[in-house]
């Protein structure tokens, strides 16, 4: 049975690199993959507006539709701006690339840190909101929100590890079902009200919504501040708009055109659904309260507040119960699957940052399924951390949410203005100049709108947003530190413009560490002789005088031509004498290289590791930091390590120079370590007590 069978069952068979083109997405699949976050946000953005307005009581609820109109205008402006982005920067760097090219690396890092935080919170908010909607329809699940949210993140991680195309196909049906369900609910509600004159009261419409203490009579500046706060909460509907500009490389050709078309489709559907839900909330009288027990007068003592969308769908489909459960099901699904937008955007951005040496290089490589597996796993772990820290409460998480995305919006739009201005300086074709000027005007309008939103968000949500800001600052500092490390390593490793004899060692002094003449030691000696170093000697540490004397005697009897050097160890320690000896060799000939051969045997079971002292691992760890020292591990695999039918082990009778191994084995030659260092004994006492 293949050793990676469980992995293949979970994520599928590995794909060749030349199959990457087959994973590119058509528009019908790209829409649910990259726009599910923006589309799903219409499920909770209207609710956030109602919750904020509820602080002033029923008198402020009628402002919800005006706020909704302003949010829709901002969304259309941002989408129009990003349509310029995808044409100008189709490489997939998105806001990070725009800011880096037009404002410099530091501004690019600010955007990158903001986007990374936004992607993490997208997963956290989407999954917890989805669970909250499901719990509204199935009260029996109440109290299990945290476990359900974490489980869903893990499932999403597994689905995305299978590859972009497979996950996109799986997520397309729920996304389109949500769009059909919400627009169908809006249409059905309008027909019932306008054509048949039906009364559709929400379950909370009969309660009296009172203001929270201290907000009974808001007026003037206090009311304006509350409306601005409600507007900033409603702008959660804009989250995810930037994902398409970061995912242009995943589209089929023509990439930029398809991405721009998908952006337009997303904006149209999102605005219609968002305004439709707000209108139905006004029509049904649905009310939301920050503290239902205190604010909703007339509500039963055991009243559990449902989400706004659940109340609306229950009222609209009061004569058609399956419609209510359909909306609850597809809303829960789309909110959970909206996290897929982040699972596509975060790994791509992480790969670009890793290529620019701001994140670990492991994030740059694709996994078996041609997805950026390490980025997917990292995103899932970070999202789970936020979910646990905030007890899977979507309302608290949403407060942190939109800061990062509007920071990136602003940097991106100002960068695009610089981009068009720079091109206009050299462009002489009047038609192209007109197009560039129009694009710059669109980006300028987008900058004004997003700047206003960012100011409002910072002014109204700073008590919560500081956590997101602090996380962004921490990421910025971390990425700068990673870049400094990689730059330092590059400077150290660059080849000097000097003669080869300065770079290369003049001589190689090889030593083989032995404790007794068993099979691993004989193999190490044979291999070292084949390497033809300038000098070769065997070294043993005198831990037990009797054993050392037996080794000398057997060495002479076999007539081994390699000289044997015995190191004294009055404190019965192995590592120290070997390190001192190697250090003395280096000190006497600084331009020589010392090559240390360590014979080891490898066991196959975890419990066998406990029977060996791991001194080889400790010694190699110390030698790792010695300049001019190379370590070669010569493994001898015991029968327990064989996966197949045991084969007859090689035996070297007589001198080392006689005979060759019948069973070839890999010899790991590197600075330190073996294929399984944890199962190896030390060189000087490699099998004193275990191999006879």
Q: What pLDDT, on the 0 to 100 scale, is given for residue 611?
A: 60
pLDDT at residue 669, rounded to an integer = 43
Work out whether the CA dihedral 626, 627, 629, 635 comes out positive or negative. Answer: positive
Q: Are 689 and 515 in contact (CB under 8 A)?
A: no
Tens digits of per-residue pLDDT, 487-512?
888 787 665 555 544 555 678 999 99
Residue of 436, 407, 440 lying closest to 95 (CA atoms): 407
Kind plus residue range of the DSSP H or E element containing 647 = none
pTM, two decimal places: 0.67
Chain position carrying tokens 């002789």: 529
The 10s digit of each residue's pLDDT in 454-473 is: 888 888 777 777 888 999 99
Which pLDDT score is estimated for 654?
40
Share of the chain above pLDDT 70, in %: 83
Q: What tokens does 146 get?
A: 């945290």
Express each pLDDT in 630-687 by its tens digit.
Answer: 898 888 887 776 644 444 444 444 444 434 444 444 444 443 333 333 333 444 343 3
Round to whole Å and give the CA distance between 216 and 294: 13
Q: Residue 479's pLDDT is what?
A: 95
- How high is the pLDDT of residue 617? 75
Q: What is the pLDDT of residue 575?
A: 85
DSSP three-state, residue 276: helix
* Cα–Cα distance for residue pair 388/218, rounded to 1 Å: 36
CA 391 to CA 143: how far, in whole Å? 11
Q: Which residues contact 402 (CB under 8 A, 6 or more apart)?
A: 232, 235, 236, 238, 239, 453, 457
pLDDT tens track for 326-349: 998 898 888 777 777 788 778 888
Express each pLDDT in 248-304 by its tens digit: 877 888 888 999 999 999 999 999 999 999 999 999 999 988 888 788 888 888 788
pLDDT score, position 201: 93
Compute the 3-state secondary structure of the chain and give helix, strand, coil in percent, each to the nearest 5.
65, 5, 30
At 365, phi and psi to the nearest 5? -90, 150
Neighbours of 140 (CB within 10 A): 7
**Which single residue is written with the structure tokens 């956290």?**
124
């Amino acid at each position: 049975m293949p050793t990676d069978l469980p992995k293949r069952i979970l994520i599928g068979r590995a794909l060749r690199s030349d199959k990457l083109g087959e994973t590119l997405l058509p528009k019908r699949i790209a829409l649910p993959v990259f726009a599910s976050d923006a589309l799903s946000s219409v499920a909770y953005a209207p609710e956030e507006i109602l919750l904020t307005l509820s602080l002033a009581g029923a008198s402020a609820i009628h402002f919800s539709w005006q706020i909704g109109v302003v949010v829709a205008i901002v969304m259309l402006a941002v989408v129009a701006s990003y349509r310029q982005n995808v044409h100008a920067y189709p490489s997939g760097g998105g806001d990070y690339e725009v800011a880096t090219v037009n404002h410099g690396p530091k501004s690019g890092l600010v955007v990158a840190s903001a986007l990374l935080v936004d992607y993490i919170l997208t997963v956290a908010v989407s999954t917890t909101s989805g669970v909250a909607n499901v719990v509204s329809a199935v009260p029996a699940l109440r109290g299990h929100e945290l476990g359900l949210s974490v489980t869903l993140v893990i499932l999403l991680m597994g689905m995305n590890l299978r590859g972009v195309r497979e996950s996109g196909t799986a997520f397309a049906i729920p996304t389109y079902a949500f769009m059909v369900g919400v627009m169908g609910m809006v249409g059905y509600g309008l027909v019932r009200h306008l054509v048949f004159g039906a009364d559709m009261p929400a379950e909370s419409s009969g309660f009296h919504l009172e203001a929270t203490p201290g907000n009974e009579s808001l007026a003037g500046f206090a009311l304006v501040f509350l409306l601005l706060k409600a507007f900033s909460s409603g702008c959660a509907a804009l989250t995810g708009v930037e994902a398409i500009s970061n995912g242009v490389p995943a589209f089929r050709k023509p990439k930029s055109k398809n991405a721009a078309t998908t952006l337009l489709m997303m904006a149209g559907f999102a605005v219609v659904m968002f305004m439709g839900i707000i209108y139905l909330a006004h029509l049904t009288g649905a009310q939301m309260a920050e503290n239902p027990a205190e604010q909703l007068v007339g509500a039963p003592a055991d009243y559990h507040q449902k989400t706004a969308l659940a109340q609306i769908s229950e009222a609209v489909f009061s004569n058609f119960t399956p419609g209510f459960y359909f909306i609850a099901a597809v809303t829960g699904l789309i909110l959970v699957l909206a996290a897929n937008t982040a699972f596509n955007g975060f790994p791509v951005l992480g790969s670009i940052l890793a290529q620019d040496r701001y994140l670990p290089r492991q994030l740059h490589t694709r996994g078996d399924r041609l997805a950026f597996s390490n980025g997917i796993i990292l995103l899932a772990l970070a999202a789970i951390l936020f979910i646990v820290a905030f007890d899977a409460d979507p309302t608290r998480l949403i407060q942190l949410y939109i800061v990062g995305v509007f920071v990136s919006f602003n940097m991106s739009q100002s960068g695009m203005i610089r981009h068009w201005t720079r091109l206009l300086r050299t462009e002489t074709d009047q038609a192209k100049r007109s197009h560039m000027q129009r694009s710059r005007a669109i980006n300028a309008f987008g900058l004004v709108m997003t700047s206003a939103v960012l100011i409002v968000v910072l002014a109204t949500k700073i008590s919560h947003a500081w956590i997101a800001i602090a996380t962004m600052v921490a990421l910025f500092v971390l990425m700068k530190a990673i870049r400094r490390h990689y730059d330092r390593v590059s400077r150290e490793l660059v080849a000097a413009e000097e003669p080869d004899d300065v770079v290369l060692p003049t001589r190689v002094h090889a030593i083989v560490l032995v404790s007794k003449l068993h099979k691993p030691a004989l193999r190490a000696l044979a291999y070292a002789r084949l390497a033809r170093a300038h000098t070769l000697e065997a070294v043993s540490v005198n831990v037990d005088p009797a054993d050392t004397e037996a080794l000398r005697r057997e060495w002479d009897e076999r007539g081994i031509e390699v000289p044997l050097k015995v190191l004294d160890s009055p404190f019965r320690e192995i590592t120290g004498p070997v390190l001192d000896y190697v250090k003395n060799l280096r000190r006497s000939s600084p331009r020589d290289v010392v090559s240390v051969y360590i014979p080891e045997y490898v066991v196959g079971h975890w419990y066998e590791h406990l029977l060996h002292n791991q001194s080889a691992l400790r010694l190699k760890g110390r030698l790792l930091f010695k300049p001019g020292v190379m370590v070669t591990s010569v493994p001898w695999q015991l029968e327990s390590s064989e996966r197949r039918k045991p084969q007859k082990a090689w035996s070297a009778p007589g001198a080392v120079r006689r005979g060759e191994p019948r069973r070839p084995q890999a010899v790991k030659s590197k600075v330190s370590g073996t294929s399984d260092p944890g199962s190896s004994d030390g060189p000087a006492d490699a099998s004193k007590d275990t191999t006879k």
